[in-house]
Amino acid sequence: MEEEKIFEYEFGGKTYIQKELVWGQVKQLASVLKGVQIEGNLTVLKIIELLGDKLSDALAVVLTEKGTSIKDKNLEKIAEEIEWSIPIKIKIKVIEDFFFCNPTALIFEKLAGLMGSFQEAVEKNNQMNLNQETTSNK
């Protein structure tokens, strides 16, 4: 069995941890990312660009103050702490670590499905495949 990856960060006089997301966090993240188109190769800079003003809210879902239950944390308070206390280099590190401790392809597929855009992507892909088959059969 694979060892659980846990990352720690200190900012604002507190210690926060990040580990593999649980389903409740995936649903929270879907809510935060509603309306954000997640596509292509995701890099740290691309994620920062895509999320824009939602970055602190997304990181609040991912991070939990050490000693606090994931389900009992105050997302608004953590987002505010992130907005005003976390140095950019730690924000970047949190995003990089996210990819190390989460099966990102599966998570983004689930997020896309929750947000409805995954179905649109599947339909588009099916339509493109149908058009290619029609063209090659001529």
State residue 118's pLDDT score: 47
**Nearest-angstrom CA–CA distance, 15 and 93:** 14
Tokens, residue 64: 């939990």
What would the mean pLDDT of 44-55 be, rounded to a whole number? 88
Tokens, residue 124: 């588009």
Tokens, residue 14: 């507190």
- Name residue 130's amino acid: L
**Nearest-angstrom CA–CA distance, 109 and 129:** 20
Q: Report domain extents, the chain.
A: 6-136
What would the mean pLDDT of 28-39 be, rounded to a whole number? 83
Which of helix, strand or coil describes residue 29?
Answer: helix
Give me the residues paired with residue 68 across strands.
none
In this structure, what DSSP letter does residue 21 have? P
Residue 74 has pLDDT above 70, yes or no: yes
